[in-house]
Amino acid sequence: MKEIKVGILGLGTVGTGIAKIIYDNAELITSRLGAKLTLKKAADIDLKTDRGINFDDGILTDDAFKVVNDPEIDIVIEMIGGETIAKDLIIKAIDNGKHIVTANKALLASHGNMLFKAAAEKGVSIAFEPSVGGCMPIIKTIRESLVGNHIQSISGILNGTCNYILSKITSEGAAFEDALTEAQAEGFAEADPTLDIEGYDTAHKLAILSSIAYGAEINLKDIYVEGITNITAMDIEFANQCGYTIKLLAITKLTENAIDARVHPTMIPFSNPLSNVNGSLNAVTIAGDAVGNMMLYGHGAGMMPTASAAISDTIDIARDLLNGIHTRVPMLSFKMDKIKKIPTQPIDEISTFYYIRFSALDQPGVLSKLSGILGDHKISIKSVHQTERKSNGAVPIFMLTHLAKEAEIQKALSKISSLDIITDAPSLIRIEGSN
Amino acid sequence: MKEIKVGILGLGTVGTGIAKIIYDNAELITSRLGAKLTLKKAADIDLKTDRGINFDDGILTDDAFKVVNDPEIDIVIEMIGGETIAKDLIIKAIDNGKHIVTANKALLASHGNMLFKAAAEKGVSIAFEPSVGGCMPIIKTIRESLVGNHIQSISGILNGTCNYILSKITSEGAAFEDALTEAQAEGFAEADPTLDIEGYDTAHKLAILSSIAYGAEINLKDIYVEGITNITAMDIEFANQCGYTIKLLAITKLTENAIDARVHPTMIPFSNPLSNVNGSLNAVTIAGDAVGNMMLYGHGAGMMPTASAAISDTIDIARDLLNGIHTRVPMLSFKMDKIKKIPTQPIDEISTFYYIRFSALDQPGVLSKLSGILGDHKISIKSVHQTERKSNGAVPIFMLTHLAKEAEIQKALSKISSLDIITDAPSLIRIEGSN
């Protein structure tokens, strides 16, 4: 029987899950692939931990370069993460003519253009389904299932940590800090949660999705990113009362000449299926000119779901190899010579609906001052709600706007912030899918 | 530039949609495929209707055999439907060495084993993404994205007509007949809706999914099928009060020695994401040993969504052809020599939770008689609700059971039905995802 040999870089959670599938589901894989998928080498700096797997002799090594330099290995599965050693190893593996499977969204978002070019020149593939959305086949769906569609937009809940925290605040009225602590205790947030809660992890994934959706070069640096650390139970409660949920969304839309790509907390109506996606689950909606709207939903991270996506990519490459071909589907959806630089629309230029919460002194004439400044900037108010609840002697004033320009909103908020009657920085949340 | 030539059989709604995508999105397809996808011939008995497409000269024909016999055509896209002429055309096309894309679930469910065998012997592929779930990439997801998973179960809302009608009864308390009439008026139900409302269309799709999920021969005839014609607003209202929604589900589970495959109205808890899928939309949840639970959601039918799936299949085959290979992914997920006959578990042998509605005379001792008979059959009652509402002088009695055996339930209901105090046939709905 034919055999495809793979090496794993990094036996952390997902790397171990991949090895488990290769061993435990070997017979299944053979009956679907028509060949044997063999783990030839697996590298990790920690070889002492019992991972619950009986690795065959000679497979484990603490020298990752032994994996990428092994002449028998066809496919290298990189599960180390980060932009340093993982990058060197992938470059070396490509140089050695090996195909790559990776979950490394940070690396692809920052250095993908260079890496995909290097792979194309060498005639190997970089596959990256596990880098976005865990088990959800978002990459394959865009690249293959929607191949006949002009993709118009994608909206996704792509970070389980943020969704867990926001769900916790929603269901329990918890403070952000408490929800984060709980998420950490339950293993849904890292000890250093910055990458997740500040939205960077979501932005890495969005940079990849924007590229394959439109045939654009990967462009991380121009994506507007705002995390969830300023979201309060008060904002969520008000949103719920108005029929909205607050989610950290990755949003990308193709406009006439640019990509509107941004990551920020977003109010979406209950009728949007993303609003029902709770806890650590992820989901992505995709709009295409033929397909209309569709959604994928599932575990966006975790040992076995992400390992499942890595195995899918590995077998995709194995099927090519068994047929003596490579890169049957273009890595970035479009043929390399069709990939263009498409500018990202600056956040200042977008127009959307807004939720604004002001904290103001309880005095006559406050509302008149606020609405006067907003009016000067052509911002039309859809509704205003003022509650009796006081915090620090101030009252919260909630506003929903009609369609407004971000630049004007920011100018108005800056002016309003400097008023004596305003006791705290205003809170701003963008709304999608309203009218 | 290389060119792949296709022919379309049937220019109904979806066939026309496919032609539209080939013409309108030609540049997009070329930039993703790296070759030109050309419509060489399209056949329909009606060549008079204006379909809004400027077909090139010589493409249209009213003789479908001119398509399958055209030596230049590589891929035949069959959109006629049914088990008569479509079958003859597909057999002839295979015999002529052409690859097939089809949305014909009825044909595949009934004659798939023969057709796939014929295709394999001839070295061509039959692709069928548009046959199940419209735009949702359910076939590709099971075959490719979940290739490393033992699929454990699939549950799906796979018929838009039924889901539209049930949603209508739920939201408006409409009678079944009125909801059906409305569905027909709005184009969500056929003039003869039997295939849809009696569950057969869903069963065709389930037969296909059960096969590719487990590597089993297609087995339509042993699937238990029950439609939605007996569902009343009263049942749905009671279900909602208890935290359940009623959906027509296609259910397949792999048990130790058999496949538990069935189509019937099902009560599912609000926490099940399928319960939020309303109107004509479709959704499928898949459970795999690595992936956990995941869901696909989107338009399960309609011109452009289904055409999008057909184009996806067509380009998949085109990519193989451009590389000089065929059937890179096994048509039925597993290599042909690994596909087994797996028996279907008879409905009598399943155990599940049940909702039963009795219509009984308002007399003392009724409940004691009912519960006595159920007890004789080891059916334990979880809750009983009796309302004051009378229809035809009788009162409805609602029951939810603990886990019970179908055979025992049926025996008990048969005995209960013959009691003098029972005024109508009891209504039975199976519950999934309870405990």
pTM of the model as a whole? 0.96
Amino acid in the structure at residue B101: V
Residue A290: which of B273, B305, B328 has the nearest Cβ? B305
Best of B32, B141, B150, B336 to mutate (most A CBs within 10 Å, chain A): B32
* DSSP of A158-190: --HHHHHHHHHHHHH---HHHHHHHHHHTTSS-
CA–CA gap between residue B373 and residue A105 (Å, rounded): 61
Contact A215 B31 (CB under 8 A): yes
For chain A, give percent helix, strand, coil, nearest 5.
40, 25, 35
Contacts of B273 in chain A (CB under 8 A): 276, 297
* Minimum distance, in Å, between the CA of residue B280 and any CA atom of chain A: 13
B411's enclosing H/E stretch is helix B406-417
Q: Residue B301: its chain A contacts at CB < 8 A? A: none
Which band of pLDDT confidence, cut at 50, 70 and 90, is reported for residue B387? confident
Q: Tell me whether residues B311 and A290 touch, CB distance under 8 A.
A: yes
Residue B379 binned pLDDT confidence (cut-offs 50, 70, 90): very high
CA dist., res. B131 & res. B206, Å (int): 11
> What average pLDDT does range B17-33 have in this prediction?
98
Residue A147 and residue B29: Cβ atoms within 8 Å? Answer: yes
Calpha distance A269→A244 (Å, rounded): 4
**pLDDT at A407 (0 to 100):** 98
Residue among A29, A32, A290 minimizing CB distance to B307? A290
Name which of A145, A312, A338 is nearest B312 (Cβ-Cβ): A145
CA distance A411 to A416: 9
Residue A326 CB coordination number (10 Å): 16
Burial (Cβ within 10 Å: 0-12, 13-18, ≥19) of residue A270: middle
How close B387 comes to chain A (CA, Å)? 33
User: How far is the C-alpha of B39 from the C-alpha of B236, rounded, in Å?
Assistant: 48
B31 with A328: Cβ contact below 8 A: no
Please report where in the chains the tokens 């369609």 appear, as a residue.
Answer: A403
Kindly list the residues from chain A whose CB atom is less than 8 angstroms away from the CB atom of residue B33: 147
Predicted pLDDT of residue A392:
66
Contact B290 A298 (CB under 8 A): no
CA distances from B280 to A404, B160, B161, B164, B297 (A): 34, 4, 6, 5, 11
Tokens 């949007």 belong to A272
What mean pLDDT do residues B377-400 have? 87
Return d(Cα B431, Cα A315) in angstroms, integer.
37
- Residues of B classed as catalytic: 205
Least-confidence region, from A49-58, A85-94, A258-267, B146-155: A49-58
pLDDT of A435 over the 60 cut? no
> Domains in chain B, please, with CATH?
3-135+303-335 (3.40.50.720), 138-299 (3.30.360.10), 348-431 (3.30.70.260)
Give chain B positions within 8 Å (CB) of A338: 31-32
Probe site for chain A from B146, B291, B322 (most A CB atoms < 10 A): B291
* Least reliable range by pLDDT among A75-89, B124-138, B389-403: B389-403
Question: Which residues of chain B are within 8 Å of residue A309 when distances are taken between CB atoms?
Answer: 145
List the strands of the sheet with A36-43, edge to edge: A60-61, A36-43, A3-9, A75-78, A99-102, A126-127
B429, containing H or E segment: strand B427-431
* pLDDT, position A390: 64
Contact state of B304 with A292 under an 8 Å Cβ cutoff? yes
Which residue is associated with the tokens 């020695």? B257
**For helices A200-214 and A105-122, angle between their N-to-C axes, nearest 10 degrees:** 30
Interface test with B, best of A18, A146, A271, A294 (most B CBs within 10 A): A294
Q: Where are the alpha helices (DSSP H) in A50-134?
A: 64-68, 85-95, 105-122
Residues forming a β-bridge with A156: A250, A284
| Inter-chain touch B298–A294, beta carbons under 8 Å | yes
Quick check: B433 pLDDT over 90? no
Which residue would you say has higher pLDDT here, A373 or B257?
A373
- Mean pLDDT over A280-300 rounds to 96
Element (H, E) at A77: strand A75-78
Look at residue A54 in the predicted model and tell me its pLDDT: 93
**Which tokens belong to B199?**
């569950």
Kindly determine whether residue B135 and residue A294, on different chains, have CB atoms separated by under 8 Å.
Answer: yes
Nearest C-alpha neighbor of B292 from the set A329, A358, A276, A300: A300
**Cα dist from B108 to A110, A152, B16, B45, B224, whole Å:** 46, 33, 22, 23, 18
Does residue A394 sit in helix, strand or coil? strand
Nearest to B141 among A29, A137, A147 (CB): A137
Binary contact (B129, A140; C-beta < 8 A): no
Closest residue in B to A29 (Cα–Cα):
B148
All residues of chain B having their beta carbon less than 8 Å from the beta carbon of residue A291 are 135, 298-299, 304-305, 308
Residues of A in contact with B254 (CB under 8 A): none
Instruction: Give the pLDDT confidence score for residue A386 in this predicted structure.
Output: 87
Q: Is A232 exposed, middle or buried (0-12, 13-18, 19+ CB in 10 A)?
A: middle
Closest residue in B to A325 (Cα) is B323
Nearest to B218, CA basis, from B109, B134, B305, B126: B109
Q: How far is B253 from chain A (nearest CA, A)?
A: 17
Asked whether the predicted pLDDT for residue B390 surpasses 70, the reply is no
Tell me, what DSSP letter sits at residue A379?
A: P
% chain A with pLDDT above 90:
94
Q: Return mean pLDDT, chain A.
A: 96
Beta carbons within 8 Å of B288's beta carbon, 6+ residues apart: A308, B146, B149, B150, B151, B152, B294
Element (H, E) at A235: helix A233-241
User: To 5 degrees, how large is the angle CA A253–CA A255–CA A259?
Assistant: 55
The string of pLDDT tens digits covering residues A302-331 is 899 999 999 999 999 999 999 999 999 999
Cβ contact A418:A425 at 8 Å? no
| Residues of B in Cβ contact (< 8 Å) with A294 | 135-136, 296-299, 305
Q: Which tokens is A226 given? A: 């705002």
**Residue in B closest to A273 by C-alpha:** B276
For residues A188-195, give the mean pLDDT.
93
Q: Please answer yes or no on whether B325 and A330 come within 8 Å at the CB atom.
A: no
Contact B328, A328 (CB under 8 A): yes
Q: Are the CB atoms for A274 and A283 separated by under 8 Å?
A: yes
Q: Closest CB to A29: pick one of B17, B148, B299.
A: B148
3-class SS at B74?
coil
What DSSP state is assigned to residue A97?
T
Which chain A residues are Cβ-neighbours of B309 within 8 angstroms?
Answer: 145
Q: How far apart are CA B24 and CA B6, in angstroms?
A: 16
A146 to B308: CB separation less than 8 angstroms, yes or no: yes
Q: Is the pLDDT of residue B410 over 90?
A: yes
